[in-house]
């Protein structure tokens, strides 16, 4: 993209409600490009994209249990907030919305994110940090 953004807000959203935030995020997209050849051709006829895979890595992941409770998702099944949170981040998926901190303008939206790995770092005299990685199923949308 080549643009530098000073002061970004990275929000985690589910059903258009902000349920958490991240301090930083790095994404990569793989379009599964393969050579298409005719029978006996040495040179490819075209290069085709077969499958899309989006990956993301993040640091300092924080979710608001209060916001998740306010969603009233899974209440009928008697699920706990912890079970609902786990379902959202690992199975259903959520959106990561990146906004300009000063103008509030949307910079990018990453849809259908699911966390695959989650780790914690503890240091004396420091805030505990959660970091990890995951996948998403649609290309990043930038306005």
- How high is the pLDDT of residue 97? 95
pLDDT tens for 34-58 read 888 888 788 888 888 888 899 999 9
Q: Which residue has the higher pLDDT, 133 or 76?
A: 133
Q: Quote the percentage of the chain above a pLDDT of 90.
A: 37
Q: Which residue has the higher pLDDT, 70 or 136?
A: 136
Q: What's the pTM value of the predicted model, to 2 decimals?
A: 0.79
- How high is the pLDDT of residue 6? 62
Q: DSSP for 43-107?
A: S-SEEEE---EEEEEEEEEEE-HHHHHHHTTTTTTT--HHHHHHHIIIII-EEEEEEETTT--EE
Ramachandran angles phi, psi of 63, nearest 5°: -115, 145
Q: Which residue has the higher pLDDT, 13 or 4?
A: 13
Map tokens 């899309």 to a residue: 52
Instruction: State the average pLDDT for the chain.
Output: 86
Residue 98 has pLDDT above 80, yes or no: yes
Distances (CA, A) of 70 to 9, 12, 19, 60, 64: 22, 15, 10, 23, 10
Closest CA to 111 of 40, 27, 43, 37: 27
- Rounded Cα–Cα distance for residues 42 and 61 (Å): 49
Tokens (6 digits) for 86: 């786990």
Output the furthest CA–CA distance in the chain (Å, rounded): 66
Residue 124 has pLDDT above 70, yes or no: yes
Map tokens 């991240």 to a residue: 22
């Amino acid at each position: 993209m080549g643009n530098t953004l000073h002061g970004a807000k990275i929000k985690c959203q589910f059903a258009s409600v902000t349920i958490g935030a991240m301090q930083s995020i790095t994404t990569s997209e793989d379009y599964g490009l393969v050579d298409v050849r005719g029978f006996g051709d040495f040179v490819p006829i075209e290069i085709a994209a077969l499958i899309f895979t989006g990956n993301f890595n993040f640091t300092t992941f924080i979710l608001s249990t209060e916001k998740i409770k306010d969603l009233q998702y899974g209440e009928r099944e008697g699920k706990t907030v912890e079970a609902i949170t786990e379902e959202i981040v690992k199975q259903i998926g959520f959106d990561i919305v990146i906004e300009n901190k000063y103008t509030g303008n949307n910079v990018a939206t990453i849809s259908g994110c699911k966390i695959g790995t989650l780790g914690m770092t503890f240091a004396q005299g420091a805030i505990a940090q959660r970091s990890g990685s995951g996948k998403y199923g649609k290309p990043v949308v930038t306005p």
